[in-house]
Amino acid sequence: MKKIIFSLLGLLFIVPALEAASRDKSEIKRTFPSAKQEVLGTMTVNGRTFKVVTPPSADKKIATRAAEITPIIKDAPGTTQNYCKDVVGYGMGQPIQGYAVASSVNWDGDDAYFYDIITAAPIGSYVKATREGNELILPMNQTVLDYDDEEYVLNIGLLRPVFSEVNGDISVWFEYSDDYDYVTYTIDGSGSMELKSPEAKYTSEGFSPSYYGFPDYVIGYYYNDDYVWAGYCDVFQIYDEFNFPRVEMPADIETTSMTYVNDYGMGVIVTVGITEDALYFKGLSAFAPNAVFKADIIENGTRLAVEPNQYVGIEAGLYYIITSTVTEDSNGNMDIASYDEPAYFVVERDETGKILSISADPDSPNFLAFNDDPFFFYPMDSFKNLNLTVQESFEGIPSTPYGAFYEDYSTMMGANYIFFRLSSFAYNGNIIDVNNLYYQIFVNGDPFEFEQTEGINLLGEEITMYRGIKEPTDLVPYTFANDVDLYEDMGGTFVVALYSEGIETVGVQAVYFCNGVETRSGLVTIDVETGEETITPGSGTKVEDISMDDVVSIEYFDLNGVRVSKPDKGLFIKKYNLSSGCSVSRSVFRR
């Protein structure tokens, strides 16, 4: 029996947000370099007949530039207006509805310029539409990207779904259509735009497109030399104006640093700006580290009120984020409590008025959340039990990586992998600044150097290794991720690929810089053959700096390195084994 496979490549797709947000021109690659598709037959889905074709050949061909090349618009005139774009995409066999996608249009009289019109393919150019009354006309076949070293360009165009068959498996594909030279949107009195022609019809009447069906057409990117789909397309019907106010940290404001432990057990450092009548918070959520929101000071400085619907930023380059006031029922289900009621916080101060802590108001049934949709509730982060406290120092020795394991090369993967977790806490309990935290990988005892390079993986495939690391380094920032071979997965585990053979041992160590001082955690080393893990001490730890609360055990060794259970007279080495995985030693003399 044939399987129907719903490809995750572009696919009207909004999910690979983090990768898409960082994609540059060189990364929008040609999906299939060659064109012609053989029609193998037809198949019927929900009463509608689709062609079954072979996907275009992967063989390179010499192409001649087609005539449909328009000037690429890199800078558009006019005033920028933000919109939320209603997107229907396909993935894992079911249509997916995505809303609040961050879109912008520059309006210049009756001309409109759509920036990065296809979701998840931010290539940095505009397409132009023209207003006629209450309609907006968007011509197809506009050029959006020129491959300088190739004989083709990328255009937008109208595409129709087909199915492709490879080795008996059926996948969704899209083919170029010349049925329409342009698409038309209607503009209503509120400024919203809705696709009118071609009508966004689906294969099954009576079903919401967010749950069922295939569209008649999509707008996508294709290669102008052979009209082959480039792998990115959207079905979008509605652009709603986004008019929420953007919050920014005032210039020259007095700031302090506060910390809290989030729901994932990670320590977070928050910048708090202070004025006479308000506080401004930056960095509350790891999902939106640059988001800033405002809290009004009320009741003589003892409470704060955070108004909902503050526009605080864009998540992953795709979704507008706003503050929301949220409530939770007895089953733990959250929903919008009010579109105009604040979320409240309690402020603790010392006798001088200095803020010591800020916590969610326990007497209020509502709390603050970051919501990545201004019209529906899709919480990105919530702060039900938020408790911010002042931490005077961020010094400390980073905790030793934990949960480490190694996976050798297999025929499924083109690399060897080391997996591990890193803590945002120092061994002394301080939350450390992860912007100054790094990890270092050791292969066969030597630091491993990372650099973006074109190479061959262990499967013999040509790939770009360590994308995003432009200069050679053996220190990888805690905050860096390229979502390919250096990243942190959804479970909080760091994934590092090593395109190397002959690995006997692999290790990882955390490195932290604070006030010009470098400190290192214990070094975790895994023996590839046996799987045995060893931890050796880091650097920067002094006996007088440690707390006995951090000491897990104490061992004694003679001068020959032999462990002894009860030191007698003479000189011995006293070793403190710490909860962080580090160990600290000093010599002791017993009479």
- Report whether pLDDT(392) > 70: yes
- Tokens representing 522 are 């214990």
- Of 20-29, 270-279, 292-301, 553-562, the least confident: 20-29
What distance in Å separates the CA atoms of residue 283 and residue 268, rounded to the nearest whole number?
8
Question: CA 147 to CA 172: how far, in whole Å?
Answer: 26
The yes-or-no verdict on residue 541 having pLDDT over 80 is no
Per-residue pLDDT at 97: 57
Q: Which amino acid is at 400?
A: T
**Burial class of residue 536 in the structure, from the number of CB atoms within 10 Å of its CB (0-12 exposed, 13-18 middle, 19+ buried):** middle
- CA contacts within 13 A on the Cβ side of 293: 27
Note the pLDDT tens digit of each residue in 464-521.
999 999 899 999 999 999 888 999 987 789 999 999 889 999 999 999 998 888 899 9
Coil, helix or strand at residue 549: helix
The DSSP string of 296-329 is EEETTTTEEEE-S--EEEEETTTEEEEEEEEEE-
Mind listing the pLDDT tens digit for each residue in 192-213? Answer: 999 899 876 655 444 444 444 5
Please write down the long-range contacts of 195-199, taking CB distance under 8 Å and 24 or more positions apart: 195/236, 195/237, 195/238, 196/135, 198/158
Q: Give dist(CA 214, CA 460) in Å, integer.
A: 37
Tokens of 3: 């399987």
Q: Is 470 exposed, middle or buried (0-12, 13-18, 19+ CB in 10 A)?
A: exposed
- Summarised one tens digit per residue, pLDDT across range 332-377 is 888 888 778 999 999 999 999 999 999 999 999 899 999 988 777 8
Q: Which segment of 155-169, 291-305, 542-556 scores lowest on mean pLDDT?
A: 542-556
Provide the token pair at 355: 């803020």
Can you list the pairs that 269-278 forms with residues at least 24 positions away whose Cβ atoms lie under 8 Å?
269/391, 269/394, 269/431, 269/433, 269/434, 270/388, 272/355, 272/358, 272/388, 273/249, 274/355, 275/250
What pLDDT score was predicted for residue 517? Answer: 86
Split at pLDDT 50, 70, 90, the class of 462 is: confident
Whether the link from the prior residue into 198 is cis, omega within 30° of 0, is yes
Residue 460 burial (10 A CB sphere; 0-12, 13-18, 19+):
exposed
Alpha-carbon distance of 431 to 514, in angstroms, equals 12
CA distances from 313 to 233, 333, 371, 503 (A): 25, 25, 11, 44
pLDDT tens, residue by residue, 43-87: 665 565 667 776 665 444 444 545 568 899 999 999 999 998 877
Mean pLDDT value of segment 277-281: 96
Q: Indicate the pTM of the whole model.
A: 0.71
SS3 (DSSP) at 469: coil
> Lowest-pLDDT range, 26-40, 346-360, 567-581?
26-40
- DSSP, collapsed to helix, strand or coil, labels residue 375 as coil
Longest dimension (CA), the chain: 99
Q: Find out whether 563 and 548 touch, Cβ atoms under 8 Å.
A: no
Mean residue pLDDT of the chain comes to 80
DSSP-based helix, strand, coil % in the chain, nearest 5: 5, 50, 45
* pLDDT of 55: 64
Question: Taking a C-beta distance cutoff of 8 angstroms, is the pair 326, 379 a contact?
Answer: yes
* Residue 370 near residue 285, CB atoms below 8 Å: yes
